[in-house]
Amino acid sequence: MNKNFNFRGLATALVTPFNESGEVDYENLKRLVEWQIENKVDAIVPVGTTGESATLTDEEQYKIIETVIEQANGRITIIAGAGSNSTKKTIKLAKHAKELQADAILTITPYYNKPTQQGLYAHFAEVASAVDIPIIMYNVPGRTGVNMTAETTLKIAEEIPNVVGIKESSGNLIQIMQIIKNRPEGFKVYSGDDSFAFPVILAGGDGVISVASNEVPSLMKQLVSACLEGQLERARELHYKLLPLMEANFIETNPIPVKAAMAMLGLIKEVYRLPLVKMNEKNKEKLRNILFEVLERENVSIGFIEK
* Catalytic residue selected from 138, 190, 269, 272: 138
Task: Return d(Cα 191, Cα 198) in angstroms, integer.
Answer: 9
Task: Return d(Cα 238, Cα 283) in angstroms, integer.
Answer: 24
* Catalytic residue selected from 62, 167, 259, 284: 167
Q: In the annotation, is 89 catalytic?
A: no
Partners of 163 in the β-ladder: 135
Q: Is 302 annotated as a binding residue?
A: no
Three-state DSSP class for residue 137: strand
The ranges assigned to domains in the chain are 9-231
Domain 9-231 has CATH 3.40.50.150: no
Query: Which of 213, 163, 199, 170 has its CA nearest to residue 184?
Result: 163
CA 139 to chain centre: 12
Task: Return d(Cα 189, Cα 177) in angstroms, integer.
Answer: 9
Task: Return d(Cα 65, Cα 75) in angstroms, integer.
Answer: 15
Q: Which pLDDT tens digit goes with each residue over 22-70?
A: 999 999 999 999 999 999 999 999 999 999 999 999 999 999 999 999 9
Q: Where would I find the H helices in 193-231?
A: 197-202, 217-228
Check residue 121 and give its pLDDT.
98
Three-state DSSP class for residue 168: strand
Q: Is 50 annotated as a binding residue?
A: yes
CA 304 to chain centre: 23
CA atoms within 13 A on the CB side of 240: 5
Q: In the annotation, is 30 catalytic?
A: no
Three-state DSSP class for residue 66: helix
Three-state DSSP class for residue 105: strand
Q: Which pLDDT tens digit goes with each residue over 89-117?
A: 999 999 999 999 999 999 999 999 999 99
Show the low-confidence residues of the chain (pLDDT under 70): 1-4, 297-307
Residues ≥6 apart with Cβ < 8 Å to 124: 107, 135, 137, 156, 160, 163
